[in-house]
Amino acid sequence: MEYNNVLVEIEDKVALVTINRPKQLNALNAETISELSNCFETLEQNKSVRAILLTGSGEKSFVAGADIKEFASFGKEQGAELSRRGHNQLFNKVENLTKPVIALINGFALGGGLELAMSCHYRFASENAKLGLPEVGLGVIPGYGGTQRLPQLVGKGRAMEMIFTAKMVSAKEACEMGLVNDVVAPDDLLELGKKSAKAITRNSGNAIAEAIKAVNAGYEFQNHGLEKEIEHFGNCFGTPEFKEGTGAFLEKRKPNFD
């Protein structure tokens, strides 16, 4: 599998997928989303792969969000369409993959980056990781499932606090609230992921696939919420506050929402 922005290594039934745009802190542009989509589809079909680890390249970032440069000029319909395409191409696909996907959060996991980690079946983080949904600071809401999957993992109150304040939490705080399962030193993160994946490969792949389907079935009622998220995400696009928020990021200044 050869991609521009994604690296894939397979060893002992475990695939390691690395998002590789380190200069942009691994931000998810359309090409990367499409490559990840293709990569997960291919791994799903590969009978020699039983578990998947997903991480970001470099020491600084897992994924710093959707690529803001790509959507800053979009209006309502384009915004909603972008969100819907992302849900279908990648985020829902990862969540419903029949092989476990473990996110190894090696730095910033922000916006679409945290949303991608939350689509994975579970998460480990390194001590330097910082997690958050900063979208309201850009004049928009989480649009890749964050409004649904964060409350599932941490409860409604903590999720709303994180979404409304746009604050980042440390790996330790994320672990305490159940957003990640364990925290280790940066050098030990891959080893922890491999150990967990190895344990998975010793068990019945068929039974694990059925377990994923059964667990996810309990959350199917939230599909309505995902649809509503797309609608409300689109509503934010093209507004004066959206232009101010995304413009401020691109101009490297603080936004003014007064």
Within 10 A of 250 (CB to CB), how many other CB atoms are there?
10
- Under the binding rule (CB under 6 A), the answer on residue 174 touching ligand CO8 is no
Q: Which of 95, 135, 241, 251 is catalytic?
A: 135
Residue type, 122: Y
Positions in 46-85 near ligand CO8 (CB under 6 A): 64-69, 71, 82-83
**Residue in 56, 100, 139, 143 binding ligand CO8, rule: CB under 6 A:** 143
Angstrom distance (rounded) from CA 206 to CA 231 = 36
- Piece in contact with ligand CO8 (CB under 6 A), picked from 105-113, 117-125, 149-157, 196-204: 105-113
Q: How far is the CB of 5 from ligand CO8 (least distance, A)?
A: 13
CB-based burial label for 152 (10 Å; 0-12, 13-18, 19+): middle
- Under the binding rule (CB under 6 A), the answer on residue 108 touching ligand CO8 is yes
Nearest-CB residue for ligand CO8: 111
Q: Hunting for tokens 């050869």 — which residue is that?
A: 2
Helices (H), 51-140: 68-71, 76-86, 92-95, 112-119
Q: Which is nearer to ligand CO8, 100 or 113 (CB)?
A: 113
- Under the binding rule (CB under 6 A), the answer on residue 138 touching ligand CO8 is yes
Q: Is the dihedral of CA 235, 238, 240, 242 positive or negative?
A: positive
**Residue in 16, 50, 84, 86 binding ligand CO8, rule: CB under 6 A:** 86
Please provide residue 95's backbone torsions phi and psi, each rounded to the nearest 5 degrees. Answer: -60, -35
Name the residues that contact ligand CO8, by CB under 6 A: 24-25, 27, 64-69, 71, 82-83, 86, 108, 110-112, 134-135, 138, 142-144
